[in-house]
Structure 1
């Protein structure tokens, strides 16, 4: 997974994030896979709701499958 610098992260549009508050950036497939893993981790730890995890997974899946969408 390529490093996402602060400058690059700040330049990403809101649509490039899967979570609330510009969390879980998914600019590419590697970051999308990582976002799904982190969301699962946080859900199991009780820090993320089922609906928030589902939204993150759905957005990440679009990136993984190569589909554009918001």
Structure 2
């Protein structure tokens, strides 16, 4: 995954994140795929609710669908 610096993250609009609080950046396909993987881990650990996971999954899939040729 490409590293997102603090300045780059701060420059992203709120809409580039899957969850409120600027959690799970999904502004490109690489970050969307990573968000899916991390969300799955967090759900299985009990650190993410099913609703939060579903939101991340839906928004990340939308980003991935838009980036496919």
Instruction: Output the TM-score relative to the length of structure 1.
Output: 0.90
Q: Which runs of 5+ in 1 are unaligned?
A: none
Aligned positions, number: 67
* Higher helix fraction (1 or 2): 2
Structure showing the higher strand proportion among its residues:
2
**TM-score, normalising length from structure 2?**
0.91
4+ runs of 1 displaced by more than 6 Å? Answer: none
Instruction: Describe how 1:23-34 pairs up with structure 2 within 5 A.
Output: 23-34=23-34
Listed as ranges, the gaps of 5+ residues in structure 2 are none
CA RMSD of aligned residues (A): 1.1
